Amino acid sequence: MPTKGSPVQATVDVVQKIIHLAGSPHPFLSVYLPTDPAQATTEGNRLRLAALLDRASQDLADPSWEEPFRVERRTVEAYMRTLRPGGKGLAILSSAPAGEWQALWLPDAVPEHVRFGPGAHVLPLLDMLDEWEPVGLALVSKDTARLMVLEAGQIQEVRRVESEVPGKHKAGGYAGWEGARIQRHLLVHAKDHLKRALEELEGAHQAHPFRRLFLGGSPESVGLFKKLLSRELKSRLVGDLSIDLYATNPEVRAQVLQAARETERREEQGLVGEIITRAAKEQGAVVGVDPTLWALNRRQLHLLVLAGEVSQPGRHCAACDLLLSEEAVSCPQCGGKARAVDLWEELPRSALSRAVRIEVVHGEAASQLWHHDGLGGLLKPKQG
């Protein structure tokens, strides 16, 4: 059994390493708790967890799970008694039979959720990974460039380029022909500087492959810099942000985070709109419980889209590993009894084991998808 020290900080690497626990055949107790020290005391957290565990113990799908549940519950509650305040959210994935123990501090509050059953519940972690993709930001002026990356909610300046601008202090004082010559001279230097900044940005992009890029700083230099961008970087460019060149890291983080979220929400709306339209025309997409589960069970699904933070009752046939709608009391394939499950808890395991990508959507996109049971997806392209 792994040691139970303080929770580790959830990072992309850590989360990616433990997502496969969703596919474990062993029972896991999965706990998600908002733990912001400013919002709740450790005693408050313990009481809330106890209430959630009480509810989970009443909802156990199988009487044979009672004892294994009690074992995990004891372990988790003992751990909570020694836990010092730390992160805004806490995730615990515990399974004695699997020899697994994971406790993570999450950078943001999570909706509270407790689940006991085969495989770890990883949907909140998958949702987080979506938001953790690196976002690039280049703040440029004619003699300075700060290249920053927002990754897993953290902002860092990864490169800085400073160039000497010749005769800077004199430039304003000249007039006529001489002034124009100096202005041209300065422009050449500014371009050289921005080219250097671009090289550094390419390097930063290789080290932290960002899907989105924002620009900020002095508008003149941003205009010049934009023209220099390679096609690859241009394809990542979302837009300009009015961020001062010397804005503090927390200021930069807040603005980039908000802009990236807005872009993400827009893309989610586009994706959900496309899926709904294509599903209506039966053109490579499905929406609603039955069509989506049908495609998933038959390995036709390429991308599964779920509305975030809710649940939907369904059933699972363990013998055939089929996910079924709530009405399917017996499995249509083997005739066996199908166990009642929460589809939102089962879908990640089922999708991951079939190499289906999962996208969790929020806001307006989620509302649209809820007109279709809150789930849908894109089908694999037809062969031949």
The contact set with Zn ion (CB under 5 A) reads 317, 319-320, 331, 333-334, 336
Q: Cβ distance 29 to 94 under 8 Å?
A: yes
- Whole-number CA gyration radius for the chain: 26
If you write DSSP's letter for every residue of 67-78 in order, what string do you get? HHHHHHHHHHHH
| Residue with the shortest CB distance to Zn ion | 331
Instruction: Write the DSSP symbol of residue 37.
Output: T
> Closest approach of Cβ 119 to Zn ion, in Å?
18
Nearer to Zn ion (CB atom), residue 50 or residue 318: 318
Q: Which is nearer to Zn ion, 126 or 317 (CB)?
A: 317
Task: Give the Cβ contact number of residue 111 at 10 Å.
Answer: 13
What do you get for the CA distance between the two ends of the chain, in Å?
Answer: 49
Minimum distance from residue 34 beta carbon to Zn ion (Å): 38
Task: Give the nearest distance from C-beta 355 to Zn ion in angstroms.
Answer: 22
Cβ-based nearer residue to Zn ion, 166 or 332:
332
What is the closest distance, in whole angstroms, from the C-beta atom of residue 332 to Zn ion in the complex?
A: 8
85 or 335: CB nearest Zn ion: 335
| Cα distance between residue 273 and residue 282, in whole Å | 14
| Min separation Cβ 317 and Zn ion, Å | 3
Is residue 314 classed as helix, strand or coil in its secondary structure? Answer: strand
Cβ 7 vs Cβ 90: under 8 Å: yes
Minimum CB distance to Zn ion, residue 107 (Å):
40
Rank residues 228 and 320 by Cβ distance to Zn ion and give the closer one.
320
Burial class (CB in 10 A: 0-12, 13-18, 19+), 365: buried
Comparison of 178 and 321: residue with beta carbon closer to Zn ion: 321
Work out the burial of residue 363: count CB atoms within 10 Å of its CB; fewer than 13 is exposed, 13-18 middle, 19 or more buried.
middle
- Cα torsion 222, 227, 230, 235: sign: positive
